[in-house]
Amino acid sequence: MEKLKYERPFIKKLNAGLMNKFGTRTEYTPHTHIDGVAVKELVAKYGSPVFVISEKQIRRNYQNAVRAFKTRYPKVQFAWSYKTNYINAVCNVFHQEGSWAEVVSGFEYQKAKGNGVPGNKIIFNGPDKTVADLELAINDGAMIHIDHFDELYELQELLTRLNKKARVAIRVNMDTGIYPMWDRFGFNYESGQAWNAITKIMASDNLELTGLHCHIGTFMLSTAAYGVAAAKLSDLAMNIKSRFGKIIQYLDLGGGFPSANTLKGSYLPGADIVPSIDEFAEVITSTLLNYGYKQDELPLLILETGRALIDDAGYLLGSVLATKRLSDGRRATIMDFGVNILFTAFWYDHKISPAQEFTHHTEDMVLYGPLCMNIDVVRESISLPLLNKGDQVVVHKVGAYNMTQWMQFIQMRPNVVMIDVNGNPHLIRNKETIDTLHDMEVLPDYLKKFEL
């Protein structure tokens, strides 16, 4: 006689009157395939855990964002935010779609150049640009966005020494009515610091002020703040024109659009409260169009959107290592991925689905990662089916920041796979091995031997 399918025995007390009005969220709909490729196959071929990126979803997100802005404003350019995900295959999907590169360090700059982005289509942001970085950027004709006065003076000295000119913008920070106000980057608008920097640049023979840049925050849930930002940058641009007769070529509104992830502590799921790209586009473009620019002097609108274009294109597949019961009776499930590779677990309550069929029975549990460290918690509380050792899960919306902020800590970084638009998986980053670690270490001779 064929044996019946097994499920762990389970009993749950029924509580009345304790639900929130939206009901409890349970994730028992299995997510068995990604872009037509079976999760089981991906794990069998590339191991567990493994990051999987959908090229189709990246292109869909990008084209949607471009449509949202270009149907409202005549001159729009996106620049891919390298720090969000700088795996070359990912960057090149964006570059194929027409995106420029936005980098915040020397090595990101090298990556963009290495990918074939022309220097004049690289935006160089951030507070840390070495003299060598700046020299490279000057020679390539890159857009250098100045972050502080020390950098402004250093750049001027360098240009004098090289007898060259550079295209620059300043990063402007400002009060847009949101908290926290990001005033650590760039020059402040309200205090007059930004105008001071502008007048210094305008007085310089070596610096050509081509743009104005701001980046007002991250995971912004308020569209109105972008309207304020666009208005304040426009105010500067208009003043530059009236005072110096100089037409600013571009306004770079930076990034900060949210993805549909659910922030920790949020009462409603992210997908229900996050404004769409269209809503941001409407506020930004209508502010610019109504500001009073002459038609032929409208600045190019640059956007450095990262998270909103890549987050939902990334999945993390993982497996259950063990299940146990904690001293207070709660179920604990230990996964083979933790905060080491899922850094965003610190910010979000990630949606996690089982990768195989279960019955409708679910239990509340804590989801732990594999690290022997108490901080390694993937979800403090989640309702999932009766998972057993070896079962697989799919973590959703992990495309942004995880593959750049991941740690090689206790465990090595895993494989990253991209599924192309035709449904074929490609390995785009190899998993690390013990050699990855050893290659960088140097053991002095006198420490090579010991007796125990």
Partner 1 sequence: MKLNKNLAVSETGFIFNPTSGDSFTANEIGTEIINLMKESKSIADIKTALLDKYDVEGNQLEKDVDDFMVLLRDNNLIQYER
Place of tokens 């980053």: 429
Q: How far is the CB of 381 from partner 1 (least distance, A)?
A: 18
> Which helix (DSSP H) or strand (DSSP E) does residue 353 occupy?
strand 352-354
Residue 405 CB contacts under 8 Å (≥ 6 apart), including other chains: 343
Q: Which three-class secondary structure state does DSSP give residue 427?
A: strand
Q: How far is the CB of 362 from partner 1 (least distance, A)?
A: 10
Q: How far is the CB of 374 from partner 1 (least distance, A)?
A: 23
Q: What is the CA radius of gyration of the chain?
A: 25
Q: Decide whether 85 or 362 has the Cβ nearer to partner 1.
A: 362
CA separation for the pair 442, 13 (Å, rounded): 58
Q: Decide whether 4 or 452 has the Cβ nearer to partner 1.
A: 4
Q: How far is the CB of 23 from partner 1 (least distance, A)?
A: 16
What sign does the CA torsion over 258, 262, 266, 271 have?
positive
Torsion of CA 197, 199, 202, 206, to 10 degrees: -50
> Do 22 and 269 touch, CB atoms closer than 8 A?
no
> Do 309 and 277 touch, CB atoms closer than 8 A?
no
CA separation for the pair 126, 156 (Å, rounded): 17
CA separation for the pair 27, 354 (Å, rounded): 7
Q: Decide whether 156 or 323 has the Cβ nearer to partner 1.
A: 323
CA separation for the pair 377, 367 (Å, rounded): 6
185, 157, 156: which is closest to 168 by C-alpha?
156
Q: Decide whether 16 or 132 has the Cβ nearer to partner 1.
A: 16
List residues binding partner 1 (CB under 8 A): 3-14, 325, 329, 359, 361, 386, 388-389
> Do 76 and 67 touch, CB atoms closer than 8 A?
no
Q: How far is the CB of 322 from partner 1 (least distance, A)?
A: 10
CA separation for the pair 245, 137 (Å, rounded): 27
> Do 105 and 126 touch, CB atoms closer than 8 A?
yes
Q: Decide whether 10 or 153 has the Cβ nearer to partner 1.
A: 10
Q: Decide whether 11 or 443 has the Cβ nearer to partner 1.
A: 11
Q: How far is the CB of 388 from partner 1 (least distance, A)?
A: 7
Q: Decide whether 266 or 383 has the Cβ nearer to partner 1.
A: 383
CA separation for the pair 127, 383 (Å, rounded): 43
> Do 307 and 90 touch, CB atoms closer than 8 A?
no
Q: How far is the CB of 29 from partner 1 (least distance, A)?
A: 18
Q: Decide whether 36 or 390 has the Cβ nearer to partner 1.
A: 390
CA separation for the pair 316, 29 (Å, rounded): 17
Q: How far is the CB of 28 from partner 1 (least distance, A)?
A: 12
Q: Decide whether 388 or 404 has the Cβ nearer to partner 1.
A: 388
Q: How far is the CB of 390 from partner 1 (least distance, A)?
A: 10
**Residue 381 CA: distances (Å) to CA of 11, 146, 331, 376, 389:** 18, 44, 10, 13, 19
Q: Decide whether 4 or 447 has the Cβ nearer to partner 1.
A: 4
Q: Decide whether 292 or 329 has the Cβ nearer to partner 1.
A: 329
Q: How far is the CB of 41 from partner 1 (least distance, A)?
A: 22
- Across-strand partners of 37? 34
Q: How far is the CB of 367 from partner 1 (least distance, A)?
A: 17
